[in-house]
Amino acid sequence: MVVLRADGVGLVLDTGGGTLPRVLHWGADPGPLDPSDTEALRLALRPQAIGFSIDEAVEVSVLPEQSAGWLGTPGLVGHRAGGTDFSTAFRTRSVAVDAAPDGNGGGTVTVRAGDPVAELDLELTLRLTPEGLVCMRGTLTNTGDTDFVLEALHLALPVPAEAVELLDFTGRHLRERGPQRTAFTHGLRVRENRTGRTGYDSVYLLAAGTAGFGHRTGEVYALHTGWSGNLRTFAERTFHSISLLGSGELLLSGEGILAPGASYTTPWRFASHGIGLDEVSSRFHRWMRARPHHPSRPRPVVVNTWEAVYFDHDLDRLRALADAAAGIGAERFVLDDGWFGGRRDDRRALGDWYVSEEVWPDGLGPLIDHVTRLGMEFGLWVEPEMVNEDSGLARAHPDWIMSTGGRLPGPARHQQVLDLTRPEAFDHILGRLDALLNEYPIAYLKWDHNRDLVEAGRPPTGRAGTHAQTLATYRLMDELRRRHPALEIEACSSGGGRVDLGVLERTDRVWASDCIDALERQEIQRWTNALIPLELMGSHVGSELCHTTDRRHPLDFRAGTALFGHFGVEWDLTAASPAERERLAEWVTLYKETRDLLHTGTTVHADHPDPALRLHGVVARDGSRALYALVAVASSEQYPPGPVRLPGLEPDARYRVRPQPPGDVPDGNADRWGRPLPWWTPEGVVLTGRALERVGVRAPVLFPERLVLLRADRLDHGED
From CA 549, how far away is CA 45, in angstroms rounded? 54
- Is the CB of residue 645 less than 8 Å from the CB of residue 608? yes
- Is the CB of residue 534 less than 8 Å from the CB of residue 506? no
Name the DSSP class of 286: H
List residues bridging with 25 in a β-sheet: 12
Residues 33/34/35/36 CA torsion (nearest 10 deg): -90
From CA 555, how far away is CA 557, in angstroms rounded? 5
List residues bridging with 708 in a β-sheet: 630
- Is the CB of residue 434 less than 8 Å from the CB of residue 395? no
C-alpha separations of 372 from 328, 333, 363, 368 in Å:
15, 9, 15, 6
Whether residue 720 lies in the annotated active site: no
3-state class of 690 per DSSP? helix
List residues bridging with 686 in a β-sheet: 656
The H or E element that residue 263 is part of is strand 263-265
From CA 684, how far away is CA 334, in angstroms rounded? 40
From CA 714, how far away is CA 476, in angstroms rounded? 47
List the catalytic residue out of 352, 452, 508, 514.
514
E-strand stretches of 330-443: 332-335, 377-382, 386-388, 415-417
From CA 419, how far away is CA 398, in angstroms rounded? 10
From CA 202, how far away is CA 167, in angstroms rounded? 12
- Is the CB of residue 379 less than 8 Å from the CB of residue 443? yes
Sign, CA dihedral 433-436-439-445, equals negative
- Is the CB of residue 258 less than 8 Å from the CB of residue 145? no
| Angle of CA points 266, 267, 269, to nearest 5° | 110
Whether residue 29 lies in the annotated active site: no
C-alpha separations of 694 from 209, 688, 715 in Å:
23, 10, 19
List the catalytic residue out of 448, 452, 508, 517.
448
- Is the CB of residue 282 less than 8 Å from the CB of residue 193? no
From CA 135, how far away is CA 403, in angstroms rounded? 35
Largest CA distance in the chain: 83
- Is the CB of residue 603 less than 8 Å from the CB of residue 282? yes
From CA 371, how far away is CA 305, in angstroms rounded? 13
How would DSSP label each residue in 411-447?
A: PBTTEEEB-TTSHHHHHHHHHHHHHHHHHS---EEEE
3-state class of 124 per DSSP? strand
Active site residues: 448, 514
